[in-house]
């Protein structure tokens, strides 16, 4: 249909009611014959171009005014339904039949006359063949409607409806295709189209793209604190007015808690108004979509009556602190030194647990207890050199709360140890920790009654590893102090933790060859190491270090009052271990520091602190009975003992030690407590040689001897240059056999320690070959690389004395690598 034709239909149709009005007036006022007689002088149809179902008015040449009987009308031979037949005024109204494109309008009058009134053209109504897509987002989705006879453009009375709601945004409109945006406020139903003058016709059904929540994480939340991730589909690419996410009917968006909103994921804080567990639901009000319900959530329970206890539940349960509290909640006899930037000693949740130097009189400017520090009533500030204890940063007060905030006092949080005495020692300001201050503070702690020292200085002491702390650590350890240190963070801002085996750090790695420092790394509440936590052998145990709440000094708090949330770092893992050590010390006051250390480490769960297990399932500290032949000493006492027949035999001099071929590297440093269990045996001297057959005097191994550690397959040949003892690996059996003078039965099986006492040489020179090679054996093969000259050899630190002369077969059994220059 073209526009011109269409406007004709409209004007004709508009004319019809006027006719009706005239007719009605005529009927009501009774029939005026003179009018009628004037009226039937012509024959016509209106309109001349109609549509199926439309009304056709027919004026015919009437002679039937007073004649009774039936008349009828056909259009194109099809019987038309009579709507009204006004005989005397000669007007007939019929419904245009379906399924015709046109035809003559024939009136069969009552009297049997047949009158051909005129030709009617019949237009067909529009038809919808398809819509796409059939699933829509109200207000967003563009829907393409295909079909026929839509008209070439939209007229005022032409419209598309989505289940009765008119689409007001039309992208394009042609006779065969309409593109509209699904309107807001719709419900699922049929798309329909109204092309004037035709009646509205229905198209295929459409459904709404409704949001679906598939998962939430975590499901156990703390209102006002937990960031929850809601995953699903059809959330819309962004938040729109009218949308919201609800927790037990409490709107998150309305409360400005939503952090991000994408089509498949919403991140939001759980509104603090939420008080009950319930269902997470989403409403896409912007699409007119009703609330869709998702999974249920629960509210993190409290493990103490403290105000913010539910913030602590996850990580405290990870380390089973609540279970541990059924055994002990700590003791005020246990002192923990927090060596950091200070602890706010008047904190409402800490002040009961702050150490007080009872032997010091405050404010008299006298060192009453004679410990070298004047008026050190709560501890000492090693930066400002006074006892005022003004905090120099935010860090130390956080550590103090984690390990020892007063528990179950209706205030704040609970420390791991509810009862404890915290000794603040200030060694840092916000930017810098002084190594000397740290050393002095460690000594102060050890000298003034600390049972435990917490060193969460990992991220501040960035100078790497230094042995300057060793002596102080050793001093405290040998006084029975438990020393706990944070492993340090590689880089919390997305970086990765360092392998401390490769890059050791102080103070966590200042173990003094023993395990004097309990190194603590950080895990999440699922016991996975956090990527930024340092790791390696210096880390003895892990504890939660993410999203930790604690006490805070005034001016630093992020939670109303004196508290701070969302602390991340190994700094905050360490005081959990310190607090756990405090619980063990409270429960077992006479337990040694190394036993508490070992109970904590050996009762860990996947390497993660398990306070309950450490307390409840005693790790029976088994002092390993050293094997006969072991060489032991304490750290503080230079005397070396030979363990023999269950006794410790002092080796009376270094000369004797050397004369027996003992190896200094094999001396095991043990604690005084362990060494005390061995009864003292006779001293080792020349006139009382040891009887232990395992000890082979090194001087009994002549140059050229083939040695092999018991249980090992590697065979070495030894040589001596002055006081230096070298060994060289025989690469393979074929190399061995190629040397005609070597005999398998000559191989001497010795202790590994004997093998280790020889320096391994990988330097060789073959006969008739001036080149010196460095060998890189690997299994039964290997590579040789020529060292260019003597200067290169010495520059690289190789000892020319270590060079062995080998045969050419031996040399050629190594592949040739690149030149070393
Ligand atoms: Ca003093
Ligand atoms: Ca004093
Ligand atoms: Ca508390
Ligand atoms: Ca350690």
- Given 3-state DSSP classes, what are the helix, strand and coil percentages for the chain, each rounded to the nearest 5? 20, 30, 50
Ligand 2 centroid – CA 573 distance (Å): 35
Q: Cis (ω within 30 of 0) for the bond into 507?
A: yes
| Range in 10-19, 261-270, 456-465 with the lowest mean pLDDT | 10-19
Average pLDDT over residues 312-339: 96
- Percentage of the chain beyond pLDDT 70 is 89
* CB burial of residue 22 (10 Å; 0-12, 13-18, 19+): middle
Residue 47 preceded by cis peptide, ω within 30:
yes
| 36 or 391, greater pLDDT | 391
pLDDT band, very low/low/confident/very high, at 445 (cuts 50, 70, 90): very high
Catalytic annotation present for 770: no
Tell whether the model's pLDDT for residue 369 goes beyond 60: yes
According to the model, what pLDDT value does residue 8 have?
43
Q: Which of 266-275, 508-517, 682-691, 773-782 has the lowest mean pLDDT?
A: 682-691
Phi-psi region of 527 (alpha: psi -120 to 50; beta: other; left: phi over 0): left
More confident of the two residues 570 and 61 = 570
Alpha carbons 43 and 454: distance in angstroms, whole number:
112
Give 764's strand partners.
773, 804
- What pLDDT sits at residue 408? 96
Point out which residues pair with 205 in neighbouring strands.
Answer: 190
Ligand nearest to the CA of 369: 1
- Report CA dihedral (588, 592, 598, 599) to the nearest 10 degrees: -10
Cα(118) to ligand 2 centroid in Å equals 126
Burial letters for 587-599: b for 16+ Cβ neighbours within 10 Å, e otherwise?
beeebbbbbbbbb
Give the model's pLDDT for residue 171.
96
Q: What residues sit around ligand 2, an ion, with C-beta below 5 angstroms?
A: 360-361, 364, 366, 368, 375
Edge-to-edge order in the sheet of strand 201-208: 135-136, 201-208, 189-194, 159-162, 165-166
Alpha helical stretches, state H, 364-510: 395-404, 435-447, 470-478
What are the residues whose beta carbons fall under 8 Å from the beta carbon of 741, sequence distance 6 or more?
none
Give mean pLDDT, residues 417-423. 98
More confident residue, 733 or 395: 395
SS3 635: coil
| 18 three-state secondary structure | helix
Ligand that comes closest to the CA of residue 357: 1
| pLDDT of 66 | 60
Predicted pLDDT at 245: 94
Alpha carbon of 153 to ligand 1 centroid (Å): 96
Q: d(Cα 344, Cα 401) in Å, to the nearest integer?
A: 10
For residue 16, count CB atoms less than 10 angstroms from its CB and return exposed for 0-12, middle for 13-18, buried for 19 or more: middle
* Calpha distance 408→306 (Å, rounded): 5
Asked if the model's pLDDT at residue 560 lies above 80, the reply is: no
d(CA 254, CA 245): 9
Quick check: 230 pLDDT over 80?
yes
**Cα–ligand 2 centroid distance for 367 (angstroms):** 5
pLDDT value for 34: 37
Task: Give me ligand 4 centre to Cα 246, in Å.
Answer: 48
pLDDT in tens, 761-807: 999 988 777 889 999 998 888 999 999 888 888 888 888 889 998 98
* Beta bridge partners of residue 521, listed in sequence order: 542
Q: Which ligand places an atom closest to the C-alpha of 378?
A: 1
Q: Could you tell me the distance, in angstroms and rounded to a whole number, from the CA of residue 450 to the centre of ligand 1? A: 15
Dihedral of CA 459/460/466/469: which sign? Answer: negative
* Interatomic CA distance for residues 203 and 208, integer angstroms: 16
- Protein residues with C-beta less than 5 angstroms from the ion ligand 1: 360, 367, 369, 371, 373, 376
- The residue assigned the tokens 């769960």 is 605
Token couple for 192: 């329909």
CA pair distance 280, 245, nearest whole angstrom: 7
- Best-predicted range by mean pLDDT (60-64, 492-496, 577-581, 734-738): 577-581
Say what the alpha-carbon torsion angle 464, 470, 476, 480 is, to the nearest 10 degrees: 100
Cα gap 212→92, rounded to integer Å: 59
Confidence check: pLDDT of 203 > 90: yes
Measured between alpha carbons, how far is 390 from 386 in angstroms, rounded to an integer? Answer: 10
Among all bound ligands, the one having the nearest atom to the CA of 311 is: 3
CA atoms lying within 13 Å on the CB side of residue 89 = 20
Distance from C-alpha of 97 to C-alpha of 77, rounded to nearest angstrom: 10
Handedness of CA 50, 52, 58, 63 (dihedral sign): positive
Q: List CB-based neighbours of ion ligand 3 within 5 Å.
A: 306, 349, 405-406, 409, 411-412
Calpha distance 283→293 (Å, rounded): 9
Q: Which entry of 62, 395, 506, 610 is annotated as an active-site residue?
A: 395
Q: At what angle do helices 470-478 and 435-447 cross, to 10 degrees?
A: 10
Going from the Cα of 367 to the center of ligand 1, the distance in angstroms, rounded, reads 4
Cα of 152 to ligand 3 centre, how many Å?
A: 77
Q: What is the chain's alpha carbon radius of gyration, rounded to the nearest angstrom?
A: 48
Give the closest ligand to the alpha carbon of residue 418: 3
Q: Which of 257, 340, 349, 540 is catalytic?
A: 340
Mean pLDDT taken over the chain: 85
What is the 373 CA–ligand 1 centroid distance (Å)? 4
Tokens of 294: 């998702």
Q: Strand locations in 218-264, DSSP E?
A: 220-221, 227-233, 243-247, 250-251, 258-261
The active-site residue out of 286, 571, 573, 761 is 571
3-state SS class at 357:
coil
In DSSP terms, which residues pair with 717 in a beta bridge? 706, 728
Taking residues 309-328, what's their average pLDDT?
95
Name the nearest CA neighbour of 395 among 346, 358, 432: 432
Token digits for 695? Answer: 């000890």
Q: What is the pLDDT of residues 377-419, one digit of tens each?
A: 999 999 999 999 999 988 999 999 999 999 999 999 999 999 9
What distance in angstroms lies between residue 512's CA and the mean position of ligand 2's atoms? 36
Q: What is the pLDDT of residues 771-783, one digit of tens each?
A: 899 999 988 889 9
Distance 360 CA to ligand 1 centre (A): 6
What pLDDT does residue 786 have? 92
Chain Cα centroid distance, residue 734: 55
Interval 662-675 mean pLDDT: 75
Clarify whether 104 is annotated catalytic: no
Higher confidence at residue 287 or residue 83? Answer: 83
pLDDT, tens digit, 9 for 90 and up, residues 457-502: 965 555 688 999 999 999 999 999 999 999 998 865 556 888 888 8
- In 482-506, which positions are buried (b, 16+ CB within 10 angstroms) versus exposed (e)? bbbbbbbbbebeeeebbebeeebbb
pLDDT for residue 39: 41
Ligand 2 centroid to residue 481 C-alpha, Å = 26
Give Cβ neighbours of residue 678 (< 8 Å, ≥ 6 apart): 626, 641, 643, 646, 647, 648
Q: What is the pLDDT of residues 134-190, one digit of tens each?
A: 999 888 899 999 999 998 899 999 999 999 999 999 999 999 999 999 998 888 899
Q: Which residues pair with 520 in a beta bridge?
A: 486, 541
For residue 497, report the distance from its CA to the centre of ligand 1, in Å.
Answer: 41
pLDDT class of 68 with cuts at 50, 70, 90: low
pLDDT over threshold 90, residue 89: no
d(CA 486, CA 460): 11
Measure the N-to-C terminal CA separation of the chain; round to a whole number of Å.
93
* Nearest ligand, CA 366: 2
Question: Is the per-residue pLDDT at 225 higher than 70?
Answer: yes
Structural domains in the chain, sorted by start:
3-122 (2.60.40.10), 127-208 (2.60.40.10), 212-299 (2.60.40.10), 309-616 (3.40.50.200), 698-816 (no CATH)
pLDDT at 38: 39
* 340 catalytic residue (yes or no): yes
Which ligand has the minimum distance to the alpha carbon of residue 312? 3
Strand 706-709 to strand 716-721: parallel, antiparallel, or no bridges (unpaired)? antiparallel
């Amino acid at each position: 249909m073209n526009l011109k034709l269409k406007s004709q239909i409209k004007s004709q149709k508009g004319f019809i009611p006027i006719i009706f009005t005239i007719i009605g007036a005529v009927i009501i006022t009774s029939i005026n014959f003179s009018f009628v007689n004037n009226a039937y002088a012509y024959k016509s149809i209106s309109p001349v171009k109609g549509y199926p179902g439309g009304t056709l008015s027919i004026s015919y040449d009437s002679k039937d005014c007073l004649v009774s009987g039936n008349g009828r009308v056909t259009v194109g031979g099809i019987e038309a339904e009579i709507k009204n037949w006004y005989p005397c005024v000669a007007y007939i109204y019929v419904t245009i039949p379906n399924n015709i494109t046109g035809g003559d309008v024939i009136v069969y009058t009552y009297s049997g006359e047949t009158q051909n009134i005129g030709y009617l053209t019949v237009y067909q109504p529009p038809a919808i063949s398809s819509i796409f897509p059939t699933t829509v987002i109200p207000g967003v989705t563009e829907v393409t409607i295909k079909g026929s006879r839509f008209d070439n453009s939209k007229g005022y009375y032409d419209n598309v409806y989505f289940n009765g709601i008119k689409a007001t945004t039309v992208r394009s409109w042609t006779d065969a295709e309409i593109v509209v945006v699904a309107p807001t406020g719709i419900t699922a139903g049929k798309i329909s189209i109204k092309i004037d003058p035709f009646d509205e016709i229905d198209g295929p059904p459409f459904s709404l793209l409704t949001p679906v929540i598939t998962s939430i994480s975590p499901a156990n939340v703390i209102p006002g604190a937990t960031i929850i991730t809601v995953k699903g589909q059809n959330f819309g690419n962004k938040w729109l007015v009218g949308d919201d996410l609800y927790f037990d009917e409490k709107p998150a968006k309305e409360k400005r808690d939503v952090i991000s909103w994408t089509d498949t994921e919403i991140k939001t804080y759980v509104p603090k108004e939420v008080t009950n567990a319930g269902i997470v639901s989403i409403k896409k009000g912007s699409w007119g979509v009703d609330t869709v319900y998702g999974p249920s959530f629960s509210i993190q329970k409290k493990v103490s009556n403290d105000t913010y206890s539910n913030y602590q539940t996850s990580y405290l349960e990870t380390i089973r602190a609540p279970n541990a509290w059924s055994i002990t909640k700590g003791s005020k006899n246990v002192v923990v030194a927090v060596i950091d930037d200070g602890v706010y000693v008047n904190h409402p949740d800490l002040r009961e647990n702050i150490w007080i130097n009872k032997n010091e009189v405050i404010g008299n400017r006298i060192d009453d207890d004679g410990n070298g520090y004047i008026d050190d009533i709560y501890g000492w500030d090693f930066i400002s050199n006074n006892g005022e204890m003004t905090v120099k940063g935010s860090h130390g007060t956080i550590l103090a709360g984690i390990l020892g905030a007063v528990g179950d006092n209706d205030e704040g949080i609970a420390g791991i140890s509810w009862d404890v005495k915290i000794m603040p020692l200030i060694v840092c300001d916000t930017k810098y920790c002084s190594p000397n201050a740290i050393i002095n503070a460690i000594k102060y702690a050890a000298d003034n009654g600390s049972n435990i020292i917490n060193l969460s200085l990992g991220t501040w002491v960035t100078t790497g590893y230094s042995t300057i702390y060793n002596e102080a650590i050793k001093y405290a350890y040998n006084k029975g102090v438990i020393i706990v240190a944070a492993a340090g963070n590689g880089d919390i801002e997305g970086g990765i933790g360092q392998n401390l085996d490769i890059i050791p750090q102080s103070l966590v790695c200042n173990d003094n060859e023993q395990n004097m420092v309990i190194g603590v790394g950080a895990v999440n509440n699922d016991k996975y190491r956090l990527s930024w936590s340092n790791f390696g052998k210096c880390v003895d145990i892990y504890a939660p270090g993410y999203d930790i709440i604690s006490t805070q000094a005034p001016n630093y708090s992020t939670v109303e009052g004196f508290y701070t949330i969302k602390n991340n770092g190994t700094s905050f893992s360490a005081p959990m271990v310190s607090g756990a050590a405090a619980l063990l010390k409270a429960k077992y006051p006479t337990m040694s520091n190394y036993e508490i250390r070992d109970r904590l480490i050996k009762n860990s769960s996947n390497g993660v602190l398990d306070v309950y297990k450490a307390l409840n399932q005693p790790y029976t500290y088994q002092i390993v009975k050293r094997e006969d032949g072991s060489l032991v000493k304490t750290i503080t006492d230079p005397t070396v003992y030979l363990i023999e027949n269950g006794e410790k035999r002092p080796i009376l001099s270094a000369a004797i030690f050397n004369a027996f071929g003992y190896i200094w590297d094999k001396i095991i440093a043990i604690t005084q407590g362990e060494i005390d269990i061995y009864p003292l045996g006779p001293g080792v001297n020349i006139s009382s040689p040891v009887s232990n057959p395992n000890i082979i005097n090194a001087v009994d191994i002549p140059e050229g001897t083939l040695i092999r550690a018991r249980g090992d397959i590697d065979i070495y040949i030894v040589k001596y240059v002055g006081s230096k003892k070298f060994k060289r690996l025989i690469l393979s059996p074929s190399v061995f056999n190629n040397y005609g003078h070597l005999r398998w039965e000559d191989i001497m099986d010795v202790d590994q320690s004997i093998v280790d006492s020889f320096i391994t040489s990988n330097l060789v020179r073959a006969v008739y070959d001036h080149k010196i090679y460095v060998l890189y054996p690997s299994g039964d093969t290997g590579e040789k690389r020529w060292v260019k000259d003597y200067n290169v050899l010495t520059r690289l630190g190789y000892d020319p004395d270590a060079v062995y002369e080998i045969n050419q077969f031996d040399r050629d059994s190594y592949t040739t690598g690149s030149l070393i220059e």
